[in-house]
């Protein structure tokens, strides 16, 4: 069987091809799945997608009409897939429920440290042989407070690093993580966490209950000199409201690896095009903001685990097995 993979990055392609070798043939495309590209999948029983692919009602209808019976998503998140439509079409959907939490947690800290110590500004200056320190002063994080919204595997890994810095830990989640409690984390209401934290990092999934979890009111609750980091999902933050607060001169730094309207932008080269998204265009102009293109997961270790899990999902589908990765089972 030949599988069609959408949205495959250049670094990712050899890992995917090597993982599927000896099992199934795979054709890798760098284009993302959407309404325009869905017809390409005609004749493929199994397709493989990334988080920035669009699997809405129309796309899934096109896939089903072309004979696709299984979607293997190469990510933990699946908010880009209409699961109810997939179930109605008797289409199996699986994701990767687990991969290295350290990849995302470590990158979240990379963003936090970069904005705190003005690393990007310093790098740009030294390239021009400007070695002044004006405007580069940061803060010690030792002794300050880290607020972790979402204390699952990634949030726990982030908290462990914060503990290593000697920070006080505040957490917010629907359930307390015993490992985080052992680190000395105190679970508090979201409003208290935002008001008392010097550093706030988001590690919750995107769902209706968490959509724009950090809205205008939440942003106003935060300290003026706080650092905000989001390496989870862009839809967790009301970006327009964030721009409003940044224009008012608030926050020491903001590190964003995700953006709520990133589909059609992230993972693509738009350097020669005019960006129609005024919010994003304004966001990247702030000197205390660092935006990266959804790369927190992008390590050899994490991508390797993602690809291996995707292969297992396809093999399970063909064998009629069901694992914890299945979102819509085979009918």
Rounded to whole angstroms, how far apart are CA atoms 9 and 171?
35
User: How far is residue 250's CA from residue 34's CA, in Å, rounded to a whole number?
Assistant: 38
Which residues are CB-contacts of 46 (< 8 A; sequence separation ≥ 6)? 1, 3, 4, 24, 68, 69, 70, 71, 72, 314, 317
The C-alpha R_g of the chain, in whole angstroms, comes to 21
SS3 content of the chain, % helix, strand, coil (to 5): 35, 15, 50
Element (H, E) at 147: strand 145-149
Which residues participate in catalysis according to the annotation?
233, 262, 294
Q: What number of CA atoms fall less than 13 Å from residue 97's CA on the CB side?
A: 9
Burial class for 240, CB neighbours closer than 10 Å (0-12, 13-18, 19+): middle
User: H or E element: which one contains 196?
Assistant: helix 190-196
How far apart are alpha carbons 175 and 173 in whole angstroms? 5
Residue in 38, 30, 79 with CA at minimum distance from that of residue 209:
79
Residue 147's DSSP bridge partners are 170, 200
Structure tokens at 63: 């896939």
DSSP label at residue 33: P
- Residue pair 111/257 in contact by the 8 Å Cβ criterion: yes
């Amino acid at each position: 069987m030949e599988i069609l993979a959408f949205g495959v990055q250049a670094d990712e392609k050899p890992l995917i091809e090597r993982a599927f070798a000896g099992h199934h043939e795979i054709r890798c495309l760098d284009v993302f799945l959407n309404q325009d590209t869905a017809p390409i999948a005609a004749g493929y029983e199994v397709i493989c997608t990334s988080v920035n692919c669009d699997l809405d009602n129309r796309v899934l209808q096109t896939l089903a009409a072309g004979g696709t019976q299984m979607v293997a998503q190469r990510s933990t998140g699946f908010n880009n897939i209409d699961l109810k439509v997939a179930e109605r079409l008797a289409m199996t959907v699986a994701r990767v429920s687990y991969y290295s939490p350290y990849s995302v947690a470590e990158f979240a800290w990379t963003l936090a440290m970069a904005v705190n110590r003005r690393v990007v500004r310093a790098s740009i200056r030294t390239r021009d042989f400007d070695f002044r320190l004006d405007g580069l002063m940061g803060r010690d994080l030792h002794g300050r407070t880290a607020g972790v919204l979402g204390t699952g595997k990634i949030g726990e890994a982030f908290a462990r690093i914060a503990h290593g810095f000697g920070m006080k830990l505040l957490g917010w989640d629907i359930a307390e993580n015993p490992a985080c409690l052992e680190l000395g984390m105190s679970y508090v209401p979201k409003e208290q966490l935002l008001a008392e934290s010097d550093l706030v990092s988001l590690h919750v999934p995107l769902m209706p209950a968490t959509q724009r979890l950090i809205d205008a009111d939440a942003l106003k609750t935060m300290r003026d000199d706080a650092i905000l980091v989001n390496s989870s999902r862009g839809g967790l933050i009301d970006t327009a409201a964030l721009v409003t607060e940044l224009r008012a001169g608030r926050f020491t730094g903001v590190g964003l690896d995700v953006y709520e309207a990133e589909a059609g932008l992230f993972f693509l080269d738009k350097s020669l095009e005019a960006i129609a998204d005024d919010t994003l265009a304004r966001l990247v102009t702030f000197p205390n903001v660092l935006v990266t293109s959804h790369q927190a997961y992008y390590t050899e270790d994490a991508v390797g685990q993602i690809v291996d899990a995707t292969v297992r999902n396809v093999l399970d589908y063909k064998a009629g097995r069901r694992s914890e990765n299945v979102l819509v089972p085979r009918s």
